[in-house]
Structure 1
Amino acid sequence: MSEFASPRAVFQRLIDGVTARRLEVLPQLYAEDAVVVHPFAEPASRLEGRAALREHFARNFARLETLSVEMAARNVVVHETADPEVIIAEFEYAGRNAGTGREFVVPNIFVLRVRNGHIVESRDYAHHGAFEEAMA
């Protein structure tokens, strides 16, 4: 596996793509049959496949654009595991809702499985309540 395709490198491309809103790049980071679960969302969500992920990113980016939200990933810590395909990443999305002037910090923990340079499964534990509050 090349460094470019390592779980750590794919994760970095993921958070860079989210913060820069690179809709054309993000779905390609995932396997065709990838599964992404958001256990802390209300209600919990499960996305299956690139098409669902593309729609998920497009919907969320449109909302961020409408609300003039800028954000960055910070305090990123990546933990290697005994399984070379799996990493655990801790980080925060920090930003500002320009429409309200409200600043926000959303803590996240992602558990990613990357195979052949693509995310095949992810459990994204985000503080969705903090994000919703920032968007209000």
Structure 2
Amino acid sequence: MSEHVRTTRETIELMLRTAVEGSRDDLADLYAEDVLVTNPFAPEGLRESRGNEALRSRMKTFAQYLDYTEIKNVIIYETVDPQVAVVEFTVVGTLVPTGEGFELPSINVVRVVDGLIAESRDHSDGTRTAKLLEAIQAAA
């Protein structure tokens, strides 16, 4: 009997739960070894992450500054391609150095291959992202 491979929806749902309930290593484990994550509206230097190890390192760096406490307003849109889905969600959390709360609405286009995220195009509220990055830079 073959082992069940997570569907695209199952993988995205697990990713959203793990962002709050798991460690950054747990989260990185849901991404393929050769994953490509792009953030087209992020500042230069933060627009692309290639490979799981680079993504893992980036996640751990941001975990020092951002504590995710809830994922809300989740809507997953499945597409005609079973590997691709669009997910709308809002990350709720705390800026660790100051204790200030934040909410960051996002839309991600995610490709899942063999139960792992192979590609994610992440689009977050640009104004809120800039404010969070400014606060992180001030705290670093």
Give the TM-score normalised by the residue count of structure 2. 0.81
Residue 99 to residue 45, structure 1, CA distance change in 2 (3 Å): closer
Please report the RMSD computed on the Cα atoms of aligned residues, expressed in angstroms.
2.2
User: Quick one: which of 36, 47, 50 aligns to 1:48?
Assistant: 50
- Alignment check: 8 A CA contact 1:21 1:61 kept: no
Please tell me the residue identity of whatever aligns with 1:22. Answer: S
Alignment length, in residue pairs?
131
Equivalences for residues 1-136 of structure 1 within 5 A: 2=4, 5-43=6-44, 44-64=46-66, 69-97=67-95, 100=98, 102-134=100-132, 136=135
Superposition deviation, residue 106 in structure 1: 0.7
Residue 99 to residue 24, structure 1, CA distance change in 2 (3 Å): closer
Please tell me the residue identity of whatever aligns with 1:8. Answer: R
Superposition deviation, residue 130 in structure 1: 0.9
> What's the % identity of the aligned pairs?
31
Unaligned runs of 5+ in 1: none
Residue 100 to residue 84, structure 1, CA distance change in 2 (3 Å): same
Give the TM-score normalised by the residue count of structure 1. 0.83
Q: Deviations over 1:29-54 (max 9, x none)?
A: 11111100011111251111110111
Q: Deviations over 1:66-122 (max 9, x none)?
A: xxx453110000000000000000010123447645432211001000011011111
- Alignment check: 8 A CA contact 1:104 1:131 kept: no
